[in-house]
Structure 1
């Protein structure tokens, strides 16, 4: 069934947004407020650093809202594969229900395709929850993009992501469509990267993303009625 995203009220659009707060020096009070906002607005998930997963899981218990975290991020591709897998298992033990992971872009560009694939597969096996793979498409040439997508799917990725953050790419419908066109049944697409407005969010969902990750979720919610008036 096709969804008319532009007709959705704020409460109907919120479940497509993963409410994100990743950074240095976040206090307990700030993180608690962030997670409570996810409940208040009915967002799809609260995306938080690993150090705050347990707090987030405790607050979200029984709400149905996903507890999401990211690893090998923001310095993408710097962790060892064993360390990444171990951290994934620990995040799940603490309550994470989804994990976004960085990929080894340097290995891909060096032709170490087996290493690139196994780096992802090790996390998939260790976690046992949906893994979202941040492919960093703007850093890859055309052939590398195709290879990265194929290897991520072979490794068991549940979601493909265009990029890790706005530092790599401002999420675009073109990047989302690129992934949607290559994703087999059962593999979904998440959009990420400098998503700050209603129109941009709608365009990404219309392109085929099943969710968007953004730290501007509340701003988007509060501007829906104004955006629709134009």
Structure 2
């Protein structure tokens, strides 16, 4: 379950932590690193541990009973290269292994080619196969204004639970403008996650103020501990 929106309440390191999806998706990650990562998510009270699909069983075992979500991503970091059938099958496999949330890449090339039904059905197939909240990585900077509107509409029609501005900081550094854009178009029941280069407490707060409910970042510990060490109490 996603935490509450913090658009008009005080944000402290303690209230920030439940919005953070603690991310570790790197080449060559070891079991010890993954287990430590999951334990950090519990220690700091983060919303989720976001890990590669191959490590979901280990993370699910660590997080069982803690209330921390087990999140993973597919068709990532190279977005839009997996077949729709493969994506749906992997989503189902991840859930069986213990994933409770999944971020997915979308078929930007199909969107730009006018294959709107295929774009929507690609997402819907994952939603139907997984049965867990699906977050769509929309890669907003790669889209024209008209394509953005279409991508958002089709993602909502497909059953996406959460709209996400981008897959990583290499596509877009998360900013309040992109988040506000998605929030303004998300109907009741659909939320927004910010992702990409979230490195400071002030930046994190600005994204929550814009209406994001989740923040995907590998700098979560620094965000909450640096602010606490600086005796930051209100932003």
* Range of TM-score over shorter length: over 0.9
1:228 aligns with 2:217: no
Q: Secondary structure at the match of 1:218?
A: helix
In structure 1, what is the equivalent of residue 157 of structure 2? Answer: 154
1:224 to partner: Cα distance: 1.2
Superposed CA deviations along residues 14-49 of structure 1, whole A, max 9, x for unmatched, are 101000000100000011111100010010000000
Matches of 2:182 and 2:67 in 1, distance apart?
27
Mark the CA change 1:2 to 1:130 in structure 2 (over 3 Å): closer, same or farther: closer
Given candidates 123, 126, 144, the residue that maps to 2:126 is 123
Q: Secondary structure at the match of 1:191?
A: strand
Q: Secondary structure at the match of 2:151?
A: helix
In structure 1, what is the equivalent of residue 37 of structure 2? Answer: 34
The 5 A counterparts of 1:153-172 are 153-172=156-175
1:200 aligns with 2:189: no
Q: Secondary structure at the match of 1:223?
A: helix
Gaps of 5+ in 2: none
Contact preservation (8 Å) 1:14, 1:44: yes
Contact preservation (8 Å) 1:57, 1:94: yes
The higher-RCO structure (CA 8 Å, 6+ apart) is 2
In structure 1, what is the equivalent of residue 218 of structure 2? Answer: 215
How many residues are treated as equivalent by the alignment? 230
1:228 to partner: Cα distance: 2.7
Mark the CA change 1:205 to 1:227 in structure 2 (over 3 Å): closer, same or farther: farther
Matches of 2:148 and 2:171 in 1, distance apart?
14
Mark the CA change 1:177 to 1:81 in structure 2 (over 3 Å): closer, same or farther: same
Gaps of 5+ in 1: none
In structure 2, what is the equivalent of residue 21 of structure 1? Answer: 24
The 5 A counterparts of 1:19-98 are 19-98=22-101
4+ residue runs over 6 A deviation = none
Matches of 1:118 and 1:163 in 2, distance apart?
20
Mark the CA change 1:36 to 1:87 in structure 2 (over 3 Å): closer, same or farther: same
RMSD: 1.6
